């Protein structure tokens, strides 16, 4: 059951189920008026999604229930690299594209990873400096970041939230194979 509308709130848009609306309403009530309300709500939404992303219908509902303009919510969701607007793979490989990593071969690592996982140029939704692509089987998402802040370890790659330093193509292939075989989870 969803909560009653507060003054200034609009009825909910979109095809959300009653359970989804109730979940979002409870998040809004729990965070209403607190510093960082929007960021906290977005983090919880994404964390509770099986594919770790922010569904657009959730963002529209959030806007209608909080009075926060949809453009503002979308701006926050696209500004922070931790938020995803598309479903993510079960595993994530993130390659640093900062200056130190770039000069030590991160572009070659990115190209090798795309080849290894079968991600073509048209699927990546970005350039070598800003990429987020999920393999067709939904197993891997390849991402790039501007900098991990681990420049002394360049080139740096993160595999399922584990930072690896001084990565070369052989190490990257070994790590991806370990993930595929379930040796890393």
Q: Over the stretch 117-173, which tens digit does the pLDDT of each residue have?
A: 999 755 545 555 568 899 999 999 999 998 999 999 999 999 998 999 999 999 999
How high is the pLDDT of residue 82?
81
Residue matched to tokens 């891997």 = 140
Is position 8 within any domain?
Answer: no
How high is the pLDDT of residue 116?
94
**Chain segment 77-94, per-residue pLDDT in tens:** 998 878 999 999 999 999
Q: Are residues 110 and 67 in the same domain?
A: no
- What is the rounded distance in angstroms from the CA atom of residue 10 to the CA atom of residue 149? 43
Write out the residue range of the structural domain in which residue 139 sits: 91-180
How high is the pLDDT of residue 156?
97
How high is the pLDDT of residue 81?
77
Is position 64 within any domain?
Answer: yes
Q: Are residues 100 and 148 in the same domain?
A: yes
Res. 3 pLDDT band, cuts 50 70 90: very low
Percent of the chain with pLDDT over 70: 85
Q: Are residues 60 and 138 in the same domain?
A: no
Q: Are residues 97 and 74 in the same domain?
A: no
Domain count, the chain: 2
pTM of the model: 0.70
Res. 27 pLDDT band, cuts 50 70 90: very high
Q: Are residues 35 and 111 in the same domain?
A: no
Average pLDDT of the segment spanning 19-34: 96
Is position 97 within any domain?
Answer: yes
How high is the pLDDT of residue 122?
53
Q: Are residues 73 and 96 in the same domain?
A: no
Q: Which SS3 state, helix, strand or coil, does residue 93 take?
A: strand
Q: Are residues 53 and 122 in the same domain?
A: no
Residue matched to tokens 């939704």 = 125
Average pLDDT of the segment spanning 94-104: 96
Q: What is the distance, to the nearest Å, from the Cα of residue 53 to the centroid of all Cα atoms in its chain?
A: 6
Q: What are phi and psi of 95, to 5 degrees?
A: -110, 130
Assess whether pLDDT exceeds 70 at residue 11: no
How high is the pLDDT of residue 21?
97
Q: Are residues 120 and 45 in the same domain?
A: no
CA distances from 21 to 126, 127, 156 (A): 33, 36, 40
Assess whether pLDDT exceeds 80 at residue 183: no
Is position 140 within any domain?
Answer: yes
Assess whether pLDDT exceeds 60 at residue 53: yes
């Amino acid at each position: 059951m969803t909560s009653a509308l507060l003054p200034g709130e609009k009825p909910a848009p979109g095809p959300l189920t009653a359970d989804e609306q109730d979940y979002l309403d409870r998040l809004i009530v729990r965070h209403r008026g607190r510093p960082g309300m929007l960021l906290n709500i977005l983090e919880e939404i994404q964390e509770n999604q099986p594919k770790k992303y922010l569904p657009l219908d959730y963002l529209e509902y959030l806007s209608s229930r909080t009075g926060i303009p949809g453009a503002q919510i979308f701006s926050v969701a696209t500004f922070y690299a931790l938020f995803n607007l598309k479903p993510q793979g079960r595993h994530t490989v993130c390659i640093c594209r900062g200056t130190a990593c770039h000069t030590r071969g991160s572009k070659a690592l990115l190209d090798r990873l795309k080849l290894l996982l079968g991600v073509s140029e048209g699927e990546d939704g970005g350039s070598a400096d800003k990429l987020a692509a999920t393999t067709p089987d939904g197993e891997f998402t390849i991402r790039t970041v501007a900098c991990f802040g681990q420049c002394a370890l360049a080139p740096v790659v993160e595999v399922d939230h584990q930072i690896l330093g001084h990565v070369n193509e052989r190490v990257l292939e070994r790590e991806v194979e370990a993930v595929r075989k379930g040796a890393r989870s």
